[in-house]
Amino acid sequence: MFDVCVVGSANLDLVATVDRLPGPGETVAGGSFAEYPGGKGLNQAVAAARSGAAVAFVGALGDDGAASTLRSVMTHDGIDATHVTTVQAATGRALIGVSASGENSIIVVAGANATVTANDLPAARVVLTQMEIPLPAVERALSAGRAAGAITVLNPAPVLPIDAGILRWCDIVVPNEHEVELLGGVEHLLASGAGAIVVTMGSRGAELHTADGLVHIQPFTVVPVDTTGAGDTFCGSLCARLAAGDDLPTAMRFASAAGALCTTSDGAVPSIPLRAAVEVLLSEG
Ligand code: RIB
C-alpha cells in the first residue's frame, strides 16, 4: 500500500520573468526564460515524496520530449508511475509569468491531462487530487478513495464550480483564500459534506475550519522569489504527514514550512524542499 496516491496533471512549465505581470491586451518585456517540470498533480506528488511518503502518481502524458522530462522526475523522486498512461496528445504545458515580487500568472493547456480517467487507482492511505484533470476523474478518485477507506483530499485548483456530488467524498478540502470565496465560503463547503476545510493564506499562514471551530497556523517568514508550486507543496506535504499519522494541525504546520521554502527559489518541482530542510525551518520557527 502507498502512503499517498496523487491523481492529477503533469505539465512542462514555460516560465518567463517580468518586472510586473501584463494586464489584458498588454505586452511587457521579459527578463529570463526557463523550462521546469510542473503541473499541480506532479508538484503535489513530488512534495509528498520529498516529505518522506511512498507515492503513486496517476496521470497522463503525451509521447514527446516533455513526457520524458516529466517521467525522469518521477524516477528521480521514487514516485510510482505504473498508472501514468501515454496517449496520443501533447503533454500538458503551462505558460507562466513570474513578477519581480514573486507573484505569478498561469495559462494551462491541458493536452494529455484531459484524458485522465482515474478508473484504476492503487491502494493508498491518502488520495489527493486537484482540478487540472476532468471533473469526472476528480470525483472518481475521491469516491474510490473513500470506498477503499483512504483519507480523501481535494485541492480545488484551478477553481471551478463544484457541487455536493464531489464535496460529499472529501474528508479535507484545501483551497486558497480566493478559491474558498469563489466556492461559496467555508460554511457552504462544510454544509456540502466536506469534513474539514484547510484555507491557505500565503504570508498570513493557514486556517483549519471544522464543525468544532477554527485553528490558525502561523506563517513562516521567508523572502519569496517565485511562488509557483507553493500551494501544491503545501498539499503534498500535508498528505504525506497525514499518511504518517499526524493530526491536521501538526500536518498543517509541516506543510506551511514546506510551502514557504518552495517560494525561495525558481520553478515548481526544482524548488520543492526535502523533509530535512523543512525540519530545519520547523525547529527555527
Ligand atoms: O500550481 C502551479 C502549477 O500550476 C504549475 O506548475 C503549472 O504547471 C500549473 O499547473
**Chain centroid to CA 248:** 17
Q: How far is the CA of 228 from the centre of ligand 1 (A)?
A: 7
Q: What is the mean pLDDT of residues 221-242?
A: 95
The answer to whether residue 77 is catalytic is no
Q: Is the dihedral of CA 12, 265, 96, 58 positive or negative?
A: positive
Q: How far is the CA of 213 from the centre of ligand 1 (A)?
A: 31
Instruction: Put residue 94 in one of left, alpha, beta given phi > 0 → left and psi -120 to 50 → alpha.
Output: beta
Question: Is pLDDT at 213 greater than 80 in this prediction?
Answer: yes
Q: Is the dihedral of CA 155, 132, 23, 263 positive or negative?
A: positive
Residue of 132, 176, 233 with the most ligand 1 atoms within 8 Å of its CB, for mutation: 132
Read off the pTM: 0.96
Question: Is pLDDT at 117 greater than 90 in this prediction?
Answer: yes
Q: Where are the beta strands (DSSP E) in 62-205?
A: 80-86, 92-98, 104-109, 124-129, 151-154, 172-173, 196-200
Identified catalytic residue from 77, 80, 171, 232: 232
pLDDT by residue (tens digit) across 67-116?
999 999 999 999 999 999 999 999 999 999 999 988 889 999 999 999 99
Residue of 96, 235, 266 with the most ligand 1 atoms within 8 Å of its CB, for mutation: 96
Q: Which atom of ligand 1 sits closest to the CA of residue 42?
A: 6
Q: Residues of the chain with pLDDT > 90: what percent?
A: 93
Burial environment of residue 82 by CB neighbours within 10 A (0 to 12, 13 to 18, 19 or more): exposed
| CA-only gyration radius of the chain, Å | 17
Per DSSP, the three-state class of 265 is coil
Q: What is the pLDDT of residue 264?
A: 95
Residues with Cβ within 6 A of ligand 1?
9, 11, 13, 38-40, 43, 94, 106, 108, 132, 228-229, 231-232, 268
Three cell numbers at 2? 502507498
Scanning the structure block, which residue is given the C-alpha cell 503534498? 236
* CB 136, CB 109: distance < 8 Å: no
Q: What is the pLDDT of residue 164?
A: 81
Question: Is pLDDT at 250 greater than 80 in this prediction?
Answer: yes
Question: Is pLDDT at 234 greater than 80 in this prediction?
Answer: yes
